[in-house]
Amino acid sequence: MQRKLIFTPEAQKQKKEIENKKSKQGLYSQVLKTLGYLESNSKHPSLKTHLYSSISGNNGEKIWEAYVQNRTPGAYRIFFYYGPDETLNGKRIPVITIFAIIPHP
């Protein structure tokens, strides 16, 4: 199922910081690939998507974790939640909100 991705201001800032650092261009490519998988199939096996119970969204949303990197010191993760869905011309548009793009806590 194709989903629309939206970013919290903090996640947008984190993505931009990675994009703008020359030393992190490889990481940026990995982030884009992971975002693409989230957009098209949030259960893709390489994402290793699972519930992250230590935190919740601003409105109590369940936070999920997806792998950007694996077996790397300080491996990056994308934290996200489902919703809020949007409606356009009477059709529901499923949304994933990107909450954070950070090294594994």
Q: What is the CATH number of the domain that holds 43?
A: 3.30.2310.20
pTM: 0.92
Distance CA 76, CA 70 (A): 8
Distance CA 27, CA 39 (A): 18
Output the CA angle 58-63-64, nearest 5 degrees.
Answer: 155
pLDDT in tens, the chain (105 residues): 789 999 999 999 999 999 999 999 999 999 999 999 999 999 999 999 999 988 888 888 999 999 999 988 899 999 999 999 989 899 999 999 999 999 987
The residue segments making up the domain with residue 73 are: 4-103
Per the CB < 8 A criterion, the answer to whether 63 and 52 are in contact is yes
In the three-class reduction of DSSP (H, G, I as helix; E, B as strand; rest coil), residue 94 is classed as coil
Q: Which of 102, 55, 57 is nearest to 82 (CA)?
A: 57
Structure tokens at 47: 């994402």
Count of structural domains within the chain: 1
